[in-house]
Amino acid sequence: MNGSEPLPAPVVSAPSSSIRNAIWKHGTTPLAVAAALLVWAAASAMTSPFFLPSPLAVGRALFNLTADGTLPKAVGISYFRILVGWAVGCLAAVPLAVAAGRIGMVRRTVEPFFNFFRFVPPIAFLGVAILWFGIGEGSKVAIIIYTSLFTVFMNTMAGAASVDESPSRAALCLGATRRQVLWRVVLPATVPAILVGMRIGMGFSFMSVVAAEMIAANEGVGFMIYNARLFLKTANAFAGIFALGAMGLLADYLFRLAARKLFPKHALPF
C-alpha cells in the first residue's frame, strides 16, 4: 500500500437496538403529551375561551389558584375524604370477602346483597347519607366507603374462592391448623386480588368524592370545579380537572410503591 491510496471511509454504525428501544419506550409519552397540547391549543384558538380555554390560560389558573392557597386547601380536603373513606371501605371489605370466598354459608348469605347494591350508584345514596350523617364530612366519607367497599369485596372474594386447594390440604395433612392455613396459604394467595381491588376502588373513590363535593359540600376540588362553572371561570374548572388527574396519579404511584415494598412477591402488573 502506498501513501497515495485514499483512506477507507469511516463506518458509521446505526444506533443499537437497545438505544432504539429506550427512545421508543421513554419518548412516546412526552411526544403524545406534546401532540395533545398542540391539538388543544389549536382547538382553543378556534373557539371561545369560555367554551375551551387555552393550555396557557389553564396554566395561569393553576398558578393563581396555587398561589392564593385555594387549590392546595381543596386538594388536601379531597385527599382526606378519599383516604379515610377508601381505607375504611377496604378494611371492612377484605375480611368479609375472604370469609365469603372460603365459607359457602357466608357467601350465600352476603353475596345477594352485594350483587344487588353494587348496581346502585353511590350518588343515589347521597341524599340519604346527608339525612343520616349531615352536610359535614360524614356524608362524603360514607359515600366513598360505599364506593370502595363493593369493588374490593368482589375482587377479594373472587381471589379467595379461586385459591388452589392442594396446598391447603397438604398443610392440614402436615398438622397445620385452619387458622395457620388461612394466614400462611390462603391470604398470601389472595393478596394479588386484594391489591387489584384496592387499586380499582381508589379510582372509583375519586369519582365519588367529586360528585359528592359538587352536590353537598362547600370545600374540596369538586366544589371548586362546580363553583368555577357558576362564575363562568372555565379555566379554573379545567385547572381543577387537571388537579384531580394529578392527585390520582400521585395516589396510584404511592399505592403501587407501597405494594412493592410490602408485598415484593405480588407486585402489581401495571
> What is the arithmetic mean of pLDDT over 258-269?
79
Domain ranges of the chain: 73-266
Is the confidence at residue 1, as pLDDT, over 60? no
Give the pLDDT of residue 270: 63
Q: What percentage of the chain carries pLDDT values higher than 90? A: 43
Give the pLDDT of residue 211: 87
Question: What gap in Å lies between CA 34 and CA 150, rounded to an integer?
Answer: 38
- Tell me the pTM: 0.82
Domain at 73-266, CATH homologous superfamily = MetI-like (1.10.3720.10)
In the block, residue with C-alpha cell 401495571: 270
103 vs 169: which has the higher pLDDT = 103
Question: What gap in Å lies between CA 156 and CA 205, rounded to an integer?
Answer: 17
Give the pLDDT of residue 236: 93
Is the confidence at residue 182, as pLDDT, over 60? yes
Residue among 248, 141, 252, 115 nearest 195 (CA): 252
CB 209 within 8 A of CB 140: yes
Structure confidence by residue, pLDDT tens digits, 15-59: 555 666 655 666 677 888 888 889 988 988 888 888 889 899 999
